[in-house]
Amino acid sequence: MTDTTATLPQSGPEPIGPKPAHPVTEFMRAFARNQSAIIGLVLLAIMLGTTFIGPFLYPVDPYSMVDLPFAPPGGEYAPLGTDYLGRDMLAGIIEGGRATLAVGAAAAVISVVIGILVGSFAGFFGGAVDAVLMKVTEFFQILPTLLLAMVLVTIFGASLVTITFAIGAVSWPQVARLARAEFMRIRKLDYVAAARTSGARNAYLIFRVILPAALPPLIVAAGLAVGAAILFEAGLSFLGLGDPNTMSWGLIIGQNRNYLLDAWWTVTLPGVAIFITVLAISLVGDGINDALNPKLRRR
Amino acid sequence: MKHFRSSTLAAAVALTLGGLFAPAQAETLVVGTTQVPRHFNGAIQSGIATFMASSQIFASPLRYDGNWNPQPYLAKSWDVSDDGLSVTLHLVEGATFHDGEPITSEDVKFSIMTIKANHPFQTMLAPVVDVETPDPLTAVIKLEKPHPALLLAMSPALMPIIPEHIYGEGDIQQNPANLAPVGSGPFKFVEYKQGEYYKLAKNEDFFLDGLPKMDEVIVQIIGDSANLVLATERGDIDMVPFMSGIRDVQRLEKADNVEVSDAGYDAVGALNWIAFNTKKAPFDNPAVRQAIGYAINKDFILQRLLGGVAKDSTGPITGTSPLATDDVEKYAFDLEKATSLLDEAGLTPDGNGIRLSATIDYIPGSPEIGRNVVEYMRTQLKQVGIELEVRTAPDFPTWAQRIANYDFDMTQDSVYNWGDPVIGVDRTYISSNIRKGVIWSNTQQYSNARVDELLAAAAIETDQTKRAELYKEFQQIVVADAPILYINEVPFYTAYKKGLTHLPDTIWGAVSPWDQVEWSE
Amino acid sequence: MKPLLDVRDLKVHFPLASGQTVHAVDGVTFSVNEGDSFGIVGESGSGKSTTAQALMRLVDPVAGTMQLEKHDLSSLDGEPLRTIRHMMQMVFQDPYSSLNPRLRAGQAVREPLDLMGLGPVRGRENRVDEMFRQVGLHPDAKRLFPHQFSGGQRQRLCIARAMVTEPRLIVCDEPVSALDVAIQAQILNLLKRLQKDKRLTYVFISHDLAVVQHICTHVAVMYLGEFVEQAPTGQLFAAAKHPYTWSLMAAALSPDDRSRAGARFTVTGEPPSPINPPKACRFAGRCPFATDRCRTEKPALRDFGNGHRVACHYAGELTPPLPELAATA
Amino acid sequence: MDPVLEVKDLKVGVDTGKSVQSVLDGVSLRLFPGKTLGVVGESGCGKSMTALATMGLLPDRFAVTGGSITLAGEDLLAAKPSRLRQLRGNAMSMIFQEPMTALNPVLTVERQITEVIELHQKKSSAEAREIALEMLRAVQIPGPEDRLAAYPHELSGGMRQRVMIAIALACRPKVIIADEPTTALDVTVQAQIFRLLRDLQMQTDTAIMLITHDLGAVAEMADDVAVLYAGKCVESGTVEAILGAPAHPYTRGLMSCTPRLRLGAAANDPQAEGLGEIPGMVPPLGRFPKACRFAPRCALADDRCHTDTPPTYETAPGHSALCWKPTAEKAVA
Amino acid sequence: MPPLVKKLASAIGLLLAVVVLNFLLIQLAPGDPVSVIVGEMGGASEDLIAQMRAEYGLDKPVWLQLLIYVGKICTGDFGFSYYFKQPVLNLILQRLPATILLVVSALVLAVVIGTLMGIFSAKKPKGILSHFVTIFSLVGYAAPVFWTGLMLLILFASIIPMFPVSGMMNVRGNDTWYGAVLDVLHHLVLPAVTLASIYIATYSRLSRASMLDVLGSDYIRTARAKGLNERRVVFGHALRNGLIPVVTMIGLQFGQLFAGAVLVETVFNWPGLGRLAFESILRRDYPTLLAILFFSAILVMVANILTDLAYGRIDPRIGGPRRKKAKPRAAGATQ
């Protein structure tokens, strides 16, 4: 053995080859160059900060009356005005953000988990498994999501938990399709075949080999799913199907909707909060997407 | 937010577009409502949406003025027998249905029997045994016992005379004419665009000469009250009856070209209250119920939450009814009294100051009188150590299911008097009406022998004074027992475009014929 | 001597969504002795890569047997198949897609050992180091990610990964066709040297006759899912008998030889679809020598001695249109 | 005879954001009517960049930084974009490596051919169609009438490359740049395509720049050869000179790396078994050695090679090499 | 055409599944329609309740109710609306055109605006315009659609009263047919723009990505090598290829578009199926609700089939009539 290797050129730890940065580094750089993505990141940080640190900086009970109903913003007791019960809007938005973001994140997790499971099995096994799973997916896609969620919430009651599950249960097909497409693409790559010939079992191939490779676009999808779920929750609340016992942005809008003409702030401000959050998530998502897109990166 | 018309561009655009789509101003009345009628046959269907349409399309034996006085309508006169067991109606001559068929006593008989059999207000015509028709213009209503409520029950909303030749065949519930009605009222049905509007046209052969004034009535259905207000502000809508949104009323009061009035509606008598499940501890103890009554600042509700627009409600009978009394306990805001009552009842605060935890429901759909009041109570009752959990129902059926099956502690509810107490009041208090699974029966499960006695006597007492006495005692008992805490009368307003006169301001408000409504110059 | 690998009548078919069937591999038979390298050469769509994948059980054959020593590869499945995978390994065509970008070079080479639990855990790292050295990479490169290697270096890594389990058989699927000519030479020399040192057995897939000639001891020429000619390398290149083999030989370009330019023997057309391959001789449609018989009767694979088998009705009767072959014929 | 295309001392750089890296450094080529110039080298040597620079189709961030490109006397580098567009597809056209992806999948063959005719020759669509048909016949596509309406996916790889050639030849260009036109094709089809190109060239007198990594293809097609290495033209001359007597060690290395098919008697010649090697690999952009760029891989390199830029050494008229030791040939191989 | 037949068969299977699922879901719901009707009637006797339950078939076992329902649907009978007292089919057919009008106009708006935005930003992915497009298109996406609707309503119906507040037509009527058409369009503007606003981002993002992809492809290089100018490169060669994923998305999104219509119709009082659906849910009007879900599924499927057809027209590789047999490259058989 040694006699042959001695004659071979030894490529050392500093290969002569091109030395591109590690993909993660490359990704970070591409992301950092994207101004709108950075703006999104900052906005997101602000919203998260408001929601999670806000209660310490602004310790006002969002459920108690601090002023007359419909006190306009800039008032003595409530900087952003009060709602129909004279409750502090700012405190409400801070408090509501937690539920909204929690619903958004949890629903996104549910939809992504279901979507990845369905999509990865369909994409990995193909054939009959794929056909059956895709029929199920198609089935869920032809039903208008909001209607289906409305039915689910009506049946199982309007609590944050059921709303979260309802949203998750109706929004997974998109993730599933994406996951399936990614799995189908990646499973054809030689390194998957190589792992199989290396003795990998299916579970290993699915979760350790293919899934990590399929993850970046799925992470983006998950992020966007959070935004979509927030909008979804707001929509349900607007239709009066929100959880009345937990303050959320959607609920604030839904409850104050009738007073829009007289107390614009009660509807506009939580709307703006949703808007900024979803916008920020989308900008960051787009930024990640662009940073992952090699075609754009090269430019 | 006043109209912002100074922007020339906007104004120009508005003008251009407005010019394009200018409405034909010929004697048309556009009425806006948030209520969607399921159909137009008031003989078998209750509810404002149906009543409003039905009152225009069908005529009834009697109609009422603004002071609870019956007026001739299809019946030019009527006699009540001395024993109170028969009422004879003399119909106007020459009156016809919209299809040209004459109206006969047979139609009256058919209508009354149909209503008795099908109308949800079961007590309304319960004592009617038969209707005799000695001749085409005379109908004699036979009663098994005196029924003083009958005259009110002959109002347009409650007793539309429907043509037997149209509605007489088959299952009336599924009669296609329910959606394309043929009546004899001031307006003829033209078309119904599901969820958008229905159109009525002047009945040229109306039996009251010179009426109606309008050539055409269009009832536009706008589900969202904010939209309705906007449309009214813009002048797209001429009249909005049955407005109860406080903010909407206040906003329209400020609009330049719109008037708002609360005239009429006395007989509708919509009460907003908090009901207890009196069979469930600790609400089986009147002291607890009273304590809660004292702990609520009704003034705050009326002035702050309801913006001073709604009237106080002190008892089971609407305040404007001649049978109402205000000589009852008023439950003036008194936290000390509340706490002492609670102490008496043995509900002492725990470590967190909580004496009692309970749930409270509300009817979905009317947030101002429902959700807001309940939310207020949750905040307010904390002060006396009562912790309320607000249970929201996603929709009416869910709420109704809970309440009708006694699965509740407290609930906000709003129930209508519909004229005579026999029709709309008794049902809430008579112990024989404790019927599980039926909403708007005696869902409080309140039972008081004296109350049952009083109501039974009042139902057949033809002497108005004596009748009022009976009801007075009833009201005092019920308010003192507090199975229900009366919060407010649901305010009904009519908003209308300036220049519109002779609005329906009778005791029935807009659920009476609009035959006199007209544009002044 | 019993061959290491014995493949009989292997068939791999793929159903299409349209209901048709792709006859990718349609009955190939061959055996490979230990220490030999068996080359399969053919154009795209001939089924040579599918054969390789079938050998590795990356696709499932519909018929035939594949005997690797005492194991029948075609009938194994699931766990039993997994446990013998260490006996056969593969080197893929594209060194860029055949390494998991998330695994460091060392992990990539070690992965088969871990997955199949080969050897003592403690010895594995040393084993990986040794493999690195054998393929001409410094063991310090273990901590690098694939993207930090060049194409040739990656192919070396793939070879290391294939060899780490001490397989009996290595299937090389076009291992050099994605590489530049200078790197190709390096890899070919490496493969050849390793084979000599370790008595490796290769099944070597390539579209390049010259490469196959360089590295293989036996060659099969594949066309539309079938072997049309197979022989020991020397014999094939000295005395090929199938017109298709001739056309491949004639089309091969050489920097030394400009003489044939313009006068080269070429066949017309391109391989037909493997969906509905011709019933008779599959090459008949493009063969300048084809007769009616070729178009109606399927030629048998006839043995011309020394394992030289040809599937042509007229094998041995035709004059090769290549001067070098004509000279020896 | 004047060259129809002359590239002189072409320099191309890429802007990496931080600095401008040299991609091509003084490449000179001459292309004569009716002749084929083979441009060979490994990937990353700048073959395709030369072609794209000539066509004026350099990707973003790449730019010509020096030298000149003259097409029939016209300075392409000075030409306006609109003028370049007039020339592209008309006076000079290009055939790409991947016939599978180089044709627009959603347009018919007819549209893709007539488009260029209508654009440059101002023909009516009926005339253009006739010419397109003629071109399909010229590239020997069977049943050309039917093929006009076909979409690319309905054609085989060889047929697609023929269509590409038809497009490239439609306006009778003076120069065709064929960038690895057969790499993606099977060998039997490659032979057909080469034959076709040669036949057409004979009829049209078009000059062809054949970009390839395959010395066999050069031998088959080229009249002249330019060998590129790391952005430099290291050797150029006639095909006989370069393949027969390569002067640059890189060219010689490439020759020795290429496996030859040995047929007939030669098949069993054990002497021919060995395959030469060039160690290492082409340096990546921005890491080109300062002096001789091949020096790190060159077995003959000495200190001078590593420190001083080699001169252009003319071994014979028209045959030059960029090397300190061009005559040290055959000493090592 | 067998593929179409196959599609139809699969569509029918899915529809059946939709019916079964919805039916079962609604069986789980608390409160049956009779309790609603009784409630709205102001109470009724047990007898009447029982009678009504029998009348509506609610006393039968669930599986029988389902069978009866499926059987009736097959004959085109979608039952009788408990709430609106008319055949469900009537209700739906009355509302369907409004919804189709709204959804299709919103879709067209979103696709046209979104795609144009996508193309422009793909041309210069790092330019100012590109950032502007990204942000602008996201505005509609990130704002809850009902909120957008409310804001537009206040702005353009109240502060600057350019557009009507609600409905689909001036109830006072129009004198001429073109007046009526203009009137409907006038009413359509705000709802359609609102609904479209959510999807503009989707389409601009998608077409941007796909155009980026396409503009980097070999055949675009070929087109440039032909001497085509940029406009012809983009619109003649790139656009059709770039549209392929957009068309796919149209099919996939149709269901969601319909869901968005529920909110928009509620805000603008648009007399469509979406609002009807909302009303039916609140009123437990099961036959109507089932039929709406059924019809919306049909709408989505029709949209999908149309998309497939459009697909065949845009991308010759998929569907569409074939003159000559193609030579598909077999999966797994490539080298």
Cα R_g (chain A), whole angstroms: 24
Separation CA C114–CA A208 (nearest Å): 14
Return the pLDDT at B446.
92
pLDDT, chain B, mean: 85
Separation CA C292–CA D275 (nearest Å): 44
Q: Average pLDDT, stretch C255-268?
A: 70
DSSP states of D60-95 = TTEEEEEEEEEETTEETTTS-HHHHHHHBTTTEEEE
Separation CA D296–CA D276 (nearest Å): 17
Return the pLDDT at A6.
32
Return the pLDDT at E10.
81
Confidence of residue B24 (pLDDT cuts 50, 70, 90): very low
Which token pair is B484?
């229900």
- pLDDT for residue B346 is more than 80: yes
Which helix (H) or strand (E) segment is B291 a member of?
A: helix B286-295
Residues E191 and E47 in one domain: no
Angle between helices A249-256 and A211-238 (to 10 degrees): 20
Sheet containing B28-33: give its strands across: B187-193, B197-202, B216-221, B28-33, B239-243, B493-497, B258-261
Residues E246 and E103 in one domain: yes
- Is the separation of the CB atoms in E116 and E234 below 8 Å? no
CA angle (D76, D79, D83) in 5-degree steps: 105
Confidence of residue B482 (pLDDT cuts 50, 70, 90): very high
Return the pLDDT at A88.
87
Return the pLDDT at E324.
37
Would you list the domain boundaries of chain A?
A: 43-56+80-297
Return the pLDDT at D331.
42
Residues of C in contact with A212 (CB under 8 A): 102
Alpha helices for chain E (secondary structure H): 2-28, 33-41, 46-55, 62-74, 88-123, 128-142, 145-153, 177-215, 218-225, 230-231, 239-268, 273-283, 286-314
Whether residue C24 is contained in a domain is answered as: yes
Q: How many CB pairs under 8 A join B and E?
A: 182
What ipTM does this complex have? 0.78
Residues of E in contact with C50 (CB under 8 A): 332-333
Do E179 and B20 count as a contact with CB atoms less than 8 A apart?
A: yes
Q: Which amino acid is at C270?
A: E
Confidence of residue B372 (pLDDT cuts 50, 70, 90): confident
Separation CA B298–CA B332 (nearest Å): 8
Separation CA E36–CA B396 (nearest Å): 7
Whether residue C237 is contained in a domain is answered as: no
Do C59 and E332 count as a contact with CB atoms less than 8 A apart?
A: yes
Residues C182 and C284 in one domain: no
Separation CA A183–CA A129 (nearest Å): 14
Residues C109 and C187 in one domain: yes
Angle between helices B396-404 and E33-41 (to 10 degrees): 80
Residues E72 and E174 in one domain: no
Which token pair is B512?
């009476």
pLDDT, chain C, mean: 89
Give me the architecture of the B270-489 domain, per CATH. Roll (3.10)
Least Cα separation, residue D237 to chain C (angstroms): 15
| Whole-structure pTM value | 0.80
Which token pair is B397?
């059926």
Q: Report how far apart, in Å, the C-alpha atoms of B251 and of each of A164, B227, B299, B454, E139 are.
A: 37, 12, 22, 44, 31
- Is the separation of the CB atoms in B472 and B459 below 8 Å? no
Do E335 and C45 count as a contact with CB atoms less than 8 A apart?
A: yes
Which token pair is B33?
């409502």
Q: Which domain holds residue C308?
A: 243-325
Lowest mean pLDDT among B444-458, E91-105, E161-175, E196-210: E161-175
Do E171 and B440 count as a contact with CB atoms less than 8 A apart?
A: no
Residues B74-99 have pLDDT tens digits of: 898 898 888 888 899 898 988 899 99
Residues E243-295 have pLDDT tens digits of: 888 888 887 777 778 888 888 998 888 888 888 888 887 776 777 877 888 88
Confidence of residue D224 (pLDDT cuts 50, 70, 90): very high
Q: Could you tell me the fold of the domain covering D5-91+171-261+272-322?
A: Rossmann fold (3.40.50)
- Is the separation of the CB atoms in B37 and B53 below 8 Å? yes
- pLDDT for residue D123 is more than 70: yes
Of the candidates C199, C179, C176, which has an alpha carbon nearest to the alpha carbon of residue C188? C176
Residues E110 and E27 in one domain: no
Do C247 and D257 count as a contact with CB atoms less than 8 A apart?
A: no
- Determine what percent of chain A is predicted with pLDDT higher than 70: 90
Which helix (H) or strand (E) segment is C195 a member of?
A: helix C181-198
Exposed, middle or buried by CB within 10 Å (0-12, 13-18, 19+), for D19?
exposed
- pLDDT for residue C230 is more than 90: yes
Q: Average pLDDT, stretch C15-27?
A: 85
Tokens 């078939």: give the residue: E57
- Is the separation of the CB atoms in E98 and E271 below 8 Å? yes
CA angle (C47, C51, C54) in 5-degree steps: 135
Separation CA D211–CA E150 (nearest Å): 63
Residues E41 and E14 in one domain: yes
Q: Could you tell me the fold of the domain covering B59-166?
A: Dipeptide-binding Protein; domain 1 (3.90.76)
Handedness of CA D231, D237, D240, D241 (dihedral sign): negative
Angle between helices A264-292 and E128-142 (to 10 degrees): 130
Return the pLDDT at C1.
65
Separation CA E167–CA B34 (nearest Å): 12
Separation CA A272–CA B322 (nearest Å): 52
Which helix (H) or strand (E) segment is B298 a member of?
A: helix B298-299
Whether chains D and B touch (3+ CB pairs under 8 A) is answered by: no
Separation CA D157–CA E188 (nearest Å): 52
- Determine what percent of chain D is predicted with pLDDT higher than 70: 97
- What is the location of CATH 3.10.105.10 in chain B? 270-489
Confidence of residue C64 (pLDDT cuts 50, 70, 90): very high
Separation CA B231–CA C150 (nearest Å): 72
Exposed, middle or buried by CB within 10 Å (0-12, 13-18, 19+), for C140?
middle
Nearest by CB to residue C209, choosing from D261, D276, D277, is: D261
DSSP states of chain A = -HHHHHHSPPB-SS-SS--PPPHHHHHHHHHHH-HHHHHHHHHHHHHHHHHHHHHHHS---TTSB-SSTTPPTT-SS-TT-B-TTSBBHHHHHHHHHHHHHHHHHHHHHHHHHHHHHHHHHHHHH-HHHHHHHHHHHHHHHHS-HHHHHHHHHHHH-S-HHHHHHHHHHHHHHHHHHHHHHHHHHHHTSHHHHHHHHTT--HHHIIIIIIHHHHHHHHHHHHHHHHHHHHHHHHHHHHTT-S-TTS--HHHHHHHHGGGTTT-HHHHHHHHHHHHHHHHHHHHHHHHHHHHH-HHHHH-
| A127 inside 8 A of chain C by CB | no
- pLDDT for residue A171 is more than 60: yes
Which helix (H) or strand (E) segment is B32 a member of?
A: strand B28-33
Q: Cβ–Cβ contacts within 10 Å for residue B500, how many?
A: 18
- pLDDT for residue B393 is more than 60: yes
Confidence of residue E44 (pLDDT cuts 50, 70, 90): low
Do D116 and E227 count as a contact with CB atoms less than 8 A apart?
A: yes
Residues C82-104 have pLDDT tens digits of: 888 999 999 998 888 889 988 89
Residues A38-74 have pLDDT tens digits of: 888 999 999 998 888 888 888 888 877 777 778 888 8
Q: Average pLDDT, stretch D65-77?
A: 91
pLDDT, chain D, mean: 87
CATH number at residue C81: 3.40.50.300
Residues C286 and C210 in one domain: no
- Determine what percent of chain C is predicted with pLDDT higher than 90: 51
Do D151 and E317 count as a contact with CB atoms less than 8 A apart?
A: yes
Return the pLDDT at B485.
93
Least Cα separation, residue D168 to chain E (angstroms): 8
- Determine what percent of chain E is predicted with pLDDT higher than 70: 86
- Is the separation of the CB atoms in B481 and B286 below 8 Å? yes
Least Cα separation, residue A13 to chain D (angstroms): 14
Q: Cβ–Cβ contacts within 10 Å for residue C60, how many?
A: 11
B interface test, pick of A262, A264, A268 with most B CB neighbours within 10 Å: A262
Confidence of residue B119 (pLDDT cuts 50, 70, 90): confident
Confidence of residue C111 (pLDDT cuts 50, 70, 90): very high
Whether residue E321 is contained in a domain is answered as: no
Of the candidates E32, D277, A12, B504, which has an alpha carbon nearest to the alpha carbon of residue C182? D277
Of E77, E110, E133, the one marking the end of a domain is E77
Closest alpha carbon within chain E to A147: E259
Q: Average pLDDT, stretch A280-285?
A: 87
Count how many domains chain E has: 2
Q: In Å, how far from its chain's centre is CA E12?
A: 19
Residues of E in contact with B173 (CB under 8 A): 55, 85
| Beta-sheet pairing, D36-40 with D224-229 | parallel
Residues B31-68 have pLDDT tens digits of: 998 888 888 888 888 788 888 999 999 999 999 888 88
Whether residue E301 is contained in a domain is answered as: no
Whether residue C232 is contained in a domain is answered as: no
Of E77, E106, E131, the one marking the end of a domain is E77
- For residues C179 and E134, which has the higher predicted lDDT (pLDDT)? C179
Confidence of residue A146 (pLDDT cuts 50, 70, 90): confident
Separation CA D95–CA D197 (nearest Å): 11
E78-89: buried (b, 16+ CB within 10 Å) or exposed (e) per residue? bbbbbbbbbbbb
- Determine what percent of chain C is predicted with pLDDT higher than 70: 97
Return the pLDDT at A121.
93
Q: Could you tell me the fold of the domain covering A43-56+80-297?
A: MetI-like fold (1.10.3720)
Separation CA B272–CA E184 (nearest Å): 40
- What is the location of CATH 3.90.76.10 in chain B? 59-166
Lowest mean pLDDT among A189-198, C282-291, E292-301: E292-301
For the ranges A237-241, B295-299, E130-134, the maximum mean pLDDT occurs at: B295-299
Do A144 and E255 count as a contact with CB atoms less than 8 A apart?
A: yes
Tally the C-alpha atoms within 13 A of residue A21's C-alpha that lie toward its C-beta. Answer: 10
Separation CA E94–CA C191 (nearest Å): 76
Count how many domains chain C has: 2
Q: Which domain holds residue E71?
A: 3-77
Q: Cβ–Cβ contacts within 10 Å for residue C57, how many?
A: 20
Separation CA C318–CA A176 (nearest Å): 59
Q: Average pLDDT, stretch E160-168?
A: 80
- pLDDT for residue C9 is more than 90: yes
Residues 155..184 of A with a Cβ closer than 8 Å to C: which? none
Q: Cβ–Cβ contacts within 10 Å for residue B192, how many?
A: 22
Least Cα separation, residue E60 to chain C (angstroms): 45
Confidence of residue B8 (pLDDT cuts 50, 70, 90): very low
